[in-house]
Chains A and B, each alone.
Chain A
Amino acid sequence: MHGRAGSVRLAGALFALGVVSGAPVSAETPAPPPRPPEAVYAKTCGYCHGQHVAPVIRGRAIPAEMTQAIVRRGQRAMPAFRPTEISNAELKALALWLKASKADPKEHDQ
């Protein structure tokens, strides 16, 4: 629905082969651009929430800090999601979007 997840990069070429010594690396690969909240919802949350699997969470004005805490900790039957999966910036935007969202009549509870 939103094209491919923005965080995946397609590499043009393969790495060189062989044994690499443990030479120091300066690192800090640049972070991929954040995905919009709709995309994160559609590609992750929306497979469970509103699909018989987990409660509807759109249109309930769930406080943003609560959503952030639940996503990072994983409430009971829900798995936790790490910053490597959903960045802090993405999660914050998602939580605000969710709080302001309207219920989708196509979604169903439980």
Chain B
Amino acid sequence: MTGVTRRDLIRTGAVGAALMGSSAFASPLDGPRQLPAHLDKGVFAAAVAELRAVVGADWVFADPESTLPYAKSSTPDPRHEHVPSGAVAPGTVEEVQAILKIANHYKLPLWTVSTGKNMGYGCATPASSGQMILDLKRMNRIIHIDAELGTALVEPGVTYQDLHDYLEANNLPFWLDVPTVGPIVSPVGNTLERGVGYTPYGDHFFMQCGMEVVLADGTLVRTGMGSVQNSTTWQAFKWGYGPYVDGIFTQSNFGVVTKLGFWLMPKPPAFKPFMVRHNAMGDVAKIVDAMRPFRMSNLIPNVVLMMGAAYQIAMFHRREELWDKPESIPEEVVRSFARKHGLGMWNTYFALYGTDEIIAAIEPIVRRAFEASGGEVLTEKEMGGNLWFEHHKNLMSGQLTLEEKGIMRWRGGGMVCFAPVAPAKGIETQQQTELAKEILGRYGFDYSVAYAIGGRELHHLIFIQYDKEDPAEEKKADDCIREMITRFGARGWASYRTGVNTMDLVAQQYGEANRALNARLKQALDPNHILSPGKQGIA
């Protein structure tokens, strides 16, 4: 193995500019940084000086070099519309409040992130250029774990890795529920995006309980039971009294969440992971129809992943190993490569939890149903040691991994996720699969997907992989996701979440009345529009 040479890396275009220093950025569009359109340089500099006085010079990033990590994103931005002006990183709630005061004074827009790893949706980049990133990563205290109730209260910078290590070091008998990118992301950021994991606690917002929010004017609010004096039930009861407001602080720009509570799953005495293998793309309908009753009755209690073969292959293999042409990979090529690795066209992973007796009672019922759907029902006995089976076994028992990040290498680092919701009905999922394949095919992209199966719906997670270094490809990826959003929308299928480049487009599909309501709430809570303007299409 040889070392990488400096020339090699500069050739990739990835670090050349960083190595050469900030002078390498000739035009503002080439660089990682853009000032807010409505602020002149002097005003911006004055705001930055005040921010430095609050958090210290080390925690304000306002030159091209130090803004670089905030500008990195895999989503397409062909028109340079998502370039930050810099970042500020408070260490306490009081510092957040002081920052908001300055932002109100200067009308400085701030884009809030917790760990800023919203990968496939824009990472830490803002919905419009010139916003300064409000980076909460330094606020990283695990405030409280209640070992009797199995609850957690954490700050935004705490990662799943931090929590995992804490539970382990203190020998606490709980499992985390992690998204597939757990080590480097946060329960706060993920839950606020209404993200998912793969144990029975997989719907993160469902398992959330109580939050603390700083409003744009600096007011500190605790939701649910958290505002009751001497409350001992903040993380025990979600709904509190009167209007339930936690939801308006998720996928929104109505406040800065500084603490979040959620529930931890008691470690079950027994756990058994399964994989069901189906060999035809068209089997999608049968799988969904077989799964629906089990998810509705909770006999299968976890968020199930139905993984497409191309996505699974991309985790651990490179596109060139299968196919060297610019067009989409033919189904046949994917199928035969998958087969060699013990995979089918669809690989559905679920698990049973409880005691050995409970699992033994449920297993035959589930087995019969999936065998009747034409699938092979496989367990550790047949699949133990298989990289993919082990990966999903880990996810379904709350273990940390970044293996799915391998898919980012498929085509040069670019990836944007289109995530429409489908009802848990076979026919509609099949129609979604067909429509997605048709559109991707015309752009030469591969159908690389995972369906995450909830109680009555599926998130159809379509990963558009492209070469981010090639401007033509970047433009194509942007065009492709817009067409997908529009054409799925025409069928009544809208996204549960979207990247910074398409937030407005998706908001339009949710209708004018909904947008107007959000706009009124925004005006009431943040009249200067300093918090994350453009988030989810809310100005």
Contacts and interface: CB of A to CB of B under 8 A. Distances in A.
Closest 9 CB pairs of A and B: A4-B165, A29-B91, A76-B413, A80-B72, A77-B408, A84-B137, A47-B402, A80-B69, A75-B14
Contacts of A78: 408, 413
Interface in B105-164: 115-117, 119, 123-124, 135, 137-138, 140-144, 157-159, 161-162
B202 to A, nearest CB: 21
Interface string B237-268: 00000000000000000000000000000000
A72 B158 contact: no
A46 to B, nearest CB: 9
Contacts of B116: 82
A96 interface: no
Nearest to A108: B316
B49 interface: no
A44 B317 CA distance: 21
Contacts, number: 200
B318 interface: yes
Contacts of B101: 22
B169 A4 contact: yes
B434 interface: no
10 contacts: A4-B168, A4-B169, A10-B142, A20-B94, A20-B219, A22-B100, A28-B56, A29-B92, A52-B387, A84-B135
Contacts of A66: 4, 6, 9, 15, 19
Interface in A5-49: 5, 7-11, 14-15, 17-22, 24-25, 27-29, 43-44, 47-48
B3 interface: yes
A52 B161 CA distance: 20
B412 A73 contact: no
Contacts of B408: 77-78
B137 A80 contact: no
A8 B158 contact: yes
B220 interface: yes
Interface in A59-108: 59-63, 65-66, 69-70, 72-85, 103
A28 to B, nearest CB: 4
B4 A62 contact: yes
Contacts of A74: 14, 69, 72
Contact of B69 (A7, A22, A24, A82): A82
Nearest to A70: B15
